[in-house]
Amino acid sequence: MEVLKQEIEKYTQFNSVEEWNKFSSKLTIKEAKKREVIFRETDICDKVIYILDGIVSSEYNRDDKQVISRFFQKGNLCSNMISAFSKTIQSDNVIAITSVKYITIPYEYFMELYLYSDSIGVFLRKKILEHLVEAKNFISIKTTANTETEYAFLEEYYPEIIRKTPSKYIAAFIGITPEALSRFLKQRHSS
């Protein structure tokens, strides 16, 4: 919890010790093993997570193939806000790519703070803004780029993901087979 408190204090200050105590009492620290499902596409999302350590992906199946739409890492908020807001099932799974440590925040409490808090709410609003910008970047790169550009995007903005994520998940993000990624990397390094 101390890591989250320090992160929040980079953005804003708590109004009181009681405010932090109330906030932290609503949080749950969890861990997920590699390939463990954190959010299942057949469930209604009822929480927001804050990633303390590790990498997760948002993925779905299309034509019996795994498609990774984006990655989340330390410091990211992760949730299916549409599912939580509309109380409908999710469109994707959120899966641990590495071992992950994270904090869960009940969605209703998250929204209360987001809308009305002048301290923790500032942190949450800034994190949501970061989340939206990252989501837009991932969407743009996935819909307009080729293999070279997508890989370069991960290298430039998400080097930790390149270092810690098995290549089969990088390939699923780019939309190619692991073998094609291997050939691409070999070709790229020989150029």
User: pLDDT by residue (tens digit) across 108-125?
Assistant: 999 999 999 999 999 999
- C-alpha to C-alpha distance for 122 and 126, rounded to whole angstroms: 6
Greatest alpha-carbon span in the chain: 59
pLDDT in tens, 7-58: 999 999 998 999 999 999 999 999 999 999 999 988 999 999 999 999 999 9
- Rounded mean pLDDT of the chain? 93
The answer to whether residue 188 sits within a structural domain is: no
The answer to whether residue 183 sits within a structural domain is: no
Residue numbers of the domain that contains 78: 2-144
Q: Which residues contact 6 (CB under 8 A, 6 or more apart)?
A: none
Quote the pLDDT of residue 61.
86
CA triple 69-169-177, angle to 5 deg: 100
Quote the pLDDT of residue 81.
82
The answer to whether residue 124 sits within a structural domain is: yes
Burial 3-15 (b: 16+ CB within 10 A, else e): ebeeebeeebebe
The answer to whether residue 191 sits within a structural domain is: no
Q: What is the CATH number of the domain that holds 41?
A: 2.60.120.10
The answer to whether residue 60 sits within a structural domain is: yes
> pLDDT band at residue 65, thresholds of 50, 70 and 90?
confident
Q: Which two tokens stand for residue 134?
A: 């990252």
* Mean of pLDDT values over 127-140: 93
The model carries a pTM of 0.90
DSSP state of 49: E
The answer to whether residue 73 sits within a structural domain is: yes
Helix (H) or strand (E) holding 23: helix 17-25
The answer to whether residue 47 sits within a structural domain is: yes
The answer to whether residue 173 sits within a structural domain is: no
Number of folded domains that form the chain: 1
Q: Which two tokens stand for residue 167?
A: 């290549």
